[in-house]
Amino acid sequence: MMIEQLLDEQQQPLVEIKDVSVAFENQNILQDVNLKIPAGETLVLLGESGCGKTVLMKTIIGLVQPTSGAVSFDGQNINELNDQDLSYLRLRFGFVFQNAALFDSMTIGQNVAFPLRQHGRFNSNQIRDMVIARLSEVGLPDSVVHKKPAELSGGMRKRVGLARALVMNPELIMYDEPTTGLDPIMSDVINELIIRTRRRNPVTSIVVTHDMNTARKVADRLVMLMPLNRLSPGESQIIFDGTPAELDSTRDRRVRQFVNGEAGERLMELRGRNPVEPTETSYNF
């Protein structure tokens, strides 16, 4: 085998998104998106609401089928897999939902054990040990095992969600707004857990967030998407792809406005769509 071929194999990305477009009822959400994510990287997806971040994440794990293009995981085109093979492939994924998405009727222990019991490879003692180990990893004591989600704080529920995502030892973990609704201290706890998870396990991470503190702290690389209706003809939907240091020095005003939370120009755009101020006679109650 030639040296060049060996190097190509070593550099093959874990996830490759090639010319992916997604449309729902003739409304385009993603258009010709290209992205490569190497193994071990923590990638943060940024962008305003409606730009397609969550749709892209769901497309990567096969929950959304692209209208065109392809998504590959570890060199395998997931869009060509049948339901059984796709279900098996998803064992290699972990997903941390925005609101933890725990089962209210189950205990914490049952929630974390759910993926293990679903796939039936482990006995009760193994499951118990794995659940306790994962809860310990995210800083939760054994005493929470028999509690219900409603008995825990929002931050603790988020950590339970992370423990459940980790319990199958995934190669790829996806975080959907992991710090939404948390105070600054608990947000930083979650950020530290994301970093610690990467250090302890050979895992690749994709993080969708609006929280710039999270983005800067956890990211190896940041990608910012733009809604299609705000792009010039032929312009890539990815308007930034780089490191946190490069993000802070970018000259793209759209990226700077998002990062700094500046609404001025965006507000003017919204006003431009509704130039006529309403009058009292405009209302009919």
DSSP states of the chain: --HHHHHHHHT--SEEEEEEEEEETTEEEEEEEEEEE-TT-EEEEE--TTSSHHHHHHHHTTSS--SEEEEEETTEEGGG--HHHHHHHGGGEEEE-TT----TTS-HHHHHHHHHHHHT-S-HHHHHHHHHHHHHHTT--GGGTTS-GGGS-HHHHHHHHHHHHHTT--SEEEEESTTTT--HHHHHHHHHHHHHHHHHS--EEEEE-S-HHHHHHH-SEEEEE--GGGS-TT--SEEEEE-HHHHHT---HHHHHHHHT--HHHHHHHHHHS-SPP-GGG---
Distance CA 10, CA 22 (A): 30
Residue-wise pLDDT for 160-199, tens only, equals 999 999 998 899 999 999 888 888 998 999 999 999 988 8
Q: Does a structural domain hold residue 183? A: yes
Q: Does a structural domain hold residue 285? A: no
Q: Residue 270: what pLDDT?
A: 58
Domain of residue 71, CATH code: 3.40.50.300
Q: Does a structural domain hold residue 181? A: yes
Distance CA 209, CA 254 (A): 17
Q: Does a structural domain hold residue 224? A: yes
Q: Residue 275: what pLDDT?
A: 46
Domain ranges, residue 88: 12-101+171-270
Confidence tier at 1 by pLDDT (50, 70, 90): very low
> Among 16-20, 79-83, 92-96, 98-102, which is the least confidently predicted range?
98-102
- Residue 18 predicted with pLDDT over 90: yes
Residue-wise pLDDT for 25-38, tens only, equals 888 999 999 999 99
Domain count along the chain: 1
Percent of the chain with pLDDT over 90: 56
Q: Does a structural domain hold residue 26? A: yes
Residue-wise pLDDT for 122-148, tens only, equals 888 999 999 999 999 999 998 999 999
pTM: 0.85
User: Residue 184: CA atoms inside 13 Å, Cβ hemisphere, count?
Assistant: 2
Q: Does a structural domain hold residue 245? A: yes
Q: Residue 276: what pLDDT?
A: 45
Confidence tier at 116 by pLDDT (50, 70, 90): confident
- Residue 113 predicted with pLDDT over 70: yes
Q: Does a structural domain hold residue 236? A: yes
Residue-wise pLDDT for 100-112, tens only, equals 788 899 999 999 9
Q: Does a structural domain hold residue 123? A: no
